[in-house]
Structure 1
Amino acid sequence: MPKAKETVLEIDLAALTHNFDYLKSKLKPTTKFLAVIKAFAYGSDSVEIAKHLEHLKIDYFAVAYVKEGVVLRDAGITTPILVLHPQPVNFKTLIDRCLEPSLYSAKVLNAFIKVAKEQSQNNYPVHIKFNTGLNRLGFWENDVDYICSQLKDTTSISVKSIFSHLAASEAVDEIHFTKKQIKNFEGIAKAFETKTGQKPWLHLCNTSGLINYPEAHFDMVRSGIGLYGFGNSAKEDENLKPIASLKSVISQIHKIEKDETVGYNRAYKASGFEKTATIPVGHADGIARIYGKGKGFVIINNKRAPIIGNVCMDMIMVNVTDIDCYEGDEVIVFDATHKASTLSESANTISYEILTAISQRVKRLLLR
């Protein structure tokens, strides 16, 4: 692989295939696989990721918002797309583009039924979201009767699935809570089936649930972060391959004397003669200010170079006093070896945050 000559996010589609195959190997042949590709496919490239997964015969996609689904449809994606957090103002567009809404409250359910009727829809597929403990979105268990009463009065929609979201499926000290969520979800599903005579698909598991709770795979599982190479545990990380590598170059090297300062607000002061390198990536590219002042680091010629001073909008400065390097040398922010999870831990955050923060101005390079 040629060395980076500018800031670039490499996206390894072979690694994506590996992750898909690994996760799918944990499922029964009849269990469907939904790929979560919201937030530009976790900071990579939603269109290219969707095209590749469609080639791999993925069953479903999920995005957060209608606009994200429209982008996929405009790119020619035909696989069903669940919109996890649709807003009523976008319901007409959602229907026009054959997207499928998550309906999570009485207001949203009734608003969608109204728009579906106005658009002369018949049995339009919808997904009913229940809250089983995450307390973010979703109907409550005791809303089943109300939902069923609304469904009896319309033929405009049809329930394709019932789903919920696990709150702590990666946490070994929350097994009791997760099993309680699973039991509650099973109770909701049984009540819905009994009252309606219908048996929609059931899905509950995210990536960690897929790995840790095979008894809760039901009809479909949803995977986001796992597809991108992270299993929410050190053990599972070894079985997955990060698909994204953020690389850059050294733009300039400075030699500074003791007590000279670096960057805005003179946030770093040299303790002696030092050598610094300026890298063309900053908080406008997704490297938040929290990584400054020695918390974060990059890799140059296989050595860690700590970020010094404040992260700038378009640049960071790193200490390379003990690194043999030159202007134009490649810089690794994270890759399959130097993982985003390790960098994120240095700032007491998670891989999701740094991955999804990578700016759209950063050039994407597909590796096939």
Structure 2
Amino acid sequence: MPKALETVLEIDLSALTHNFNYLKSKLQPQTKFLAVVKAFAYGSDSVEIAKHLQKLNIDYFAVAYINEGIALRDAGITTPILVLHPQSINFKILIERCLEPSIYSPHVLNEFIKTAEALSQNNYPVHIKFNTGLNRLGFKENDIETIVSTLQKTSVVKVKSIFSHLVASEDANELDFSKLQIERFKTIAKIFEEKSGIKPWLHLCNTSGVINYPEAHFNMVRSGIGLYGFGNSAEEDKNLKPIASLKSVISQIHEIEKGETVGYNRAYTSKGHEKTATIPIGHADGISRIYGNENGYVFINGKKAPIIGNVCMDMIMVNITDINCKEGDEVIIFDATYTASNLAESAHTISYEILTAISQRVKRVFLPE
């Protein structure tokens, strides 16, 4: 594999295939698989990721917002797409582009029905979201009669699925609450089916739910972070392969003496004769200021180099005093060995945050299978 000569995000499509197959092996053959490709496919590239997964016969995609779904349709993605947080102002184009909305409140339900009626729709697929404890979006159990009553007055929509979201499926300390959510969801599904006379698909599990709660796989599961190589536990991470590697290059090396400072606001002061390397990646590329001042690090020739001083918009400086390296050498911010989780932990955050923060000005390079 050629070494990086500039800042690049390498995407390993064979690792994506591995993760998909591993997670799918946890499911019953009839259980459908929904891939979450919101937020630019967790910072990689939603179009290329979706194209690859479509070749693997993925059953569904999910995005957060309508414009993300439109981008996939424009790229030729024909697989069904669930929009998890649609805004009513965009319902017309949602229908025109054959996207499927999550309906999570009476207001959203009524607004979508109005738009669907205006566009002369019949049995347009919708997905009803219930709140079982996350308290973010979703109907409550006592809303079921209102939902059913509203649906029975129109033929423009049909309920394709009902779903909810686990709060802490990766956390063994929250086992009881996760099981409570599963039971709440089962109760909601039973009441909904009895009152509506229809039997929609059910889905509840995210990546950690797929791994930890096989009894709750129902008709479909949703995976985001797992597809990108993280299982929300160190043990499961061994079974997955991070698909993204963020790499850069040493632009310049400086030698500084004791008492000299580095970067904005003189945030780092040399403790003696030291060497620093400047690397062309900064907070405009997704390396937040929280990684500065020796909270974060990079790897150069297999050795850890702490980030010193404040992270700049386009650059970071690292301490290479004890590293044998030269200008033009490759720098690894994270890869399959020194993972995004490891880097995130150094600054007390999570892999999701650093992955989704990678700016789209960073060049994406796709490694074929």
- 1:37 to 2:37 alignment: yes
Residues 296-352 of structure 1: per-residue CA shift (max 9 Å, x gap) = 000000000000000000000000000000000000000000000000000000000
> Which residue of structure 1 aligns with residue 21 of structure 2?
21
TM-score by length of 2: 1.00
CA distance in structure 2 between the partners assigned to 1:287 and 1:57 by the alignment = 34
- 1:362 to 2:344 alignment: no
Residue 120 of structure 1, CA deviation:
0.4
> Which residue of structure 2 aligns with residue 190 of structure 1?
190
> Which residue of structure 1 aligns with residue 180 of structure 2?
180
CA distance in structure 2 between the partners assigned to 1:197 and 1:282 by the alignment = 55
CA distance in structure 2 between the partners assigned to 1:137 and 1:75 by the alignment = 29
Secondary structure of residue in 1 paired with 2:318: strand
- 1:89 to 2:82 alignment: no
> Which residue of structure 2 aligns with residue 98 of structure 1?
98
Residue 219 of structure 1, CA deviation:
0.1
> Which residue of structure 2 aligns with residue 310 of structure 1?
310
Residues 221-267 of structure 1: per-residue CA shift (max 9 Å, x gap) = 00000000000000000000000000000000000011000000000
Residue 268 of structure 1, CA deviation:
0.4
Secondary structure of residue in 2 paired with 1:226: coil
Secondary structure of residue in 2 paired with 1:364: strand
Residues 23-46 of structure 1: per-residue CA shift (max 9 Å, x gap) = 000000000000000000000000
CA distance in structure 2 between the partners assigned to 1:136 and 1:208 by the alignment = 19
Residues 128-181 of structure 1: per-residue CA shift (max 9 Å, x gap) = 000000000000010000000000001000000000000000000100000000
| Aligned residue type for 1:329 | D
TM-score by length of 1: 1.00
> Which residue of structure 1 aligns with residue 60 of structure 2?
60
CA distance in structure 1 between the partners assigned to 2:341 and 2:114 by the alignment = 44
Q: How do 1:68-217 residues align onto structure 2 when only pairs under 5 Å count?
A: 68-217=68-217
Residues 26-81 of structure 1: per-residue CA shift (max 9 Å, x gap) = 00000000000000000000000000000000000000000000000000000000
Secondary structure of residue in 2 paired with 1:61: strand
CA distance in structure 1 between the partners assigned to 2:93 and 2:235 by the alignment = 42
Runs of 4+ in 1 over 3 A off after TM superposition: none
Residue 22 of structure 1, CA deviation:
0.2
For structure 1, the 5+ residue unaligned runs are none
| Aligned residue type for 1:162 | I
> Which residue of structure 2 aligns with residue 246 of structure 1?
246
> Which residue of structure 2 aligns with residue 12 of structure 1?
12
| Aligned residue type for 1:69 | G
| Aligned residue type for 1:31 | T
Residues 189-220 of structure 1: per-residue CA shift (max 9 Å, x gap) = 00010011100000000000000000000000
- 1:338 to 2:363 alignment: no
| Aligned residue type for 2:69 | G
| Aligned residue type for 2:309 | G
CA distance in structure 1 between the partners assigned to 2:276 and 2:173 by the alignment = 44
| Aligned residue type for 1:257 | E
> Which residue of structure 2 aligns with residue 237 of structure 1?
237
CA distance in structure 2 between the partners assigned to 1:121 and 1:219 by the alignment = 26
CA distance in structure 2 between the partners assigned to 1:16 and 1:199 by the alignment = 33
Secondary structure of residue in 1 paired with 2:276: strand
For structure 2, the 5+ residue unaligned runs are none
> Which residue of structure 2 aligns with residue 223 of structure 1?
223
CA distance in structure 1 between the partners assigned to 2:166 and 2:156 by the alignment = 30
> Which residue of structure 2 aligns with residue 2 of structure 1?
2
| Aligned residue type for 1:79 | T
CA distance in structure 1 between the partners assigned to 2:359 and 2:315 by the alignment = 13
Secondary structure of residue in 2 paired with 1:284: helix
